[in-house]
Chains A and B, each alone.
Chain A
């Protein structure tokens, strides 16, 4: 009986280990991220700083995705909680102006696992245009969200979504293959 339990436990552990593909390096602390951002701005970034910036941008994008869903969940319902919409709009509008600082030289595919495509650095003009268009849409959405005009908010949400998509379609690699 005990042997079977031990075997079962071993099998379970192996399964967990197998599922745990690609352990990532421990997440950089907020302080490390701030330092990294400073070094990038100063032009003195080392590979650890680049990795910290990449990690931070990934987290920020995930936060924006979550915020977009939060907005969508409210606007889909017949009685939207606009305070939730406004809170999430603020998160996205807050990141809009930062986007261009998240892609220093060396933080593309050459640095390792990332969905940032090389085109970001080979076509910086288009990337900049799209990032700035997103920044503008995010600010606009936040502005419209302060009103109580739900149809207008929905329309602005559509425009914001298109701005996300416009950049991703060209500069973000697909998730699988």
Chain B
């Protein structure tokens, strides 16, 4: 049965990152640092939104619904997991890993400075120049880690498409897909929560971007 799986906020969040991550790489390569810092602040807002939505959003967006312990994860690997909609336990691990690495990468960027002190993140004034330069180095290195995770993510999508004959991209665009028999339906979040989550995330990102 084709049912709702991902709500609009989750889908928009996902595709916004798909656009912003390469964009950020490019603005850094081309030394367009004002844009890089602006877009970086937007990514901060997106991550904060995802965090909030993971607490109050639709059932498949909530961390509590898909983050499973080792027992459930191994049960899933042995094919003994109950039918469910949304992220399976392995998908959950990859989501957590990507969010964590991206959050760390962005946090480092907030404190980073180039070696000439010309361009620096909005929070770099809180630490001295040497630490800022180190943050910049780690910011660069953590991007490579992020790339590896993104590569694994894409490889998994391709594996599902070619080997398991399961389209995962369609549902992330339309929000609807094949839901296994017996799985509980996705429950959307009340609409009034969306502007609240957006306002909170936006305000926090603006505050951070202004130097906190």
Contact = CB atoms under 8 A, between A and B. Distances in A.
Interface of A: 64-73, 76-77, 161, 164-165, 168, 175
A65 B117 contact: yes
27 contacts: A64-B116, A64-B117, A65-B115, A65-B116, A65-B117, A66-B117, A66-B128, A66-B129, A67-B117, A68-B116, A69-B113, A69-B120, A69-B124, A69-B132, A70-B117, A70-B129, A71-B117, A72-B117, A72-B118, A73-B125, A76-B125, A76-B211, A77-B125, A77-B211, A161-B118, A164-B116, A175-B115
Max chain A CB contacts within 10 Å: which of B113, B116, B128, B211?
Answer: B116
Interface in B128-145: 128-129, 132
A102 B30 CA distance: 30
Given A64-B117, A67-B117, 20 more contacts: A65-B115, A65-B117, A65-B129, A66-B117, A68-B117, A68-B118, A69-B113, A69-B117, A69-B120, A69-B132, A70-B129, A72-B118, A72-B120, A76-B120, A76-B122, A76-B211, A161-B116, A164-B116, A165-B116, A175-B115
Contacts of A70: 117, 129
Max chain B CB contacts within 10 Å: which of A66, A77, A161, A168?
Answer: A66
Contacts of A77: 125, 211
A165 B118 contact: yes
Interface of A is mostly: helix
A79 B110 CA distance: 20
Nearest to B122: A76
Contacts of A175: 115
A150 B18 CA distance: 39
A5 B120 CA distance: 42
Contacts of A64: 116-117
Contacts of B124: 69, 73
A161 B128 CA distance: 19
A52 B120 CA distance: 31
A63 to B, nearest CB: 10
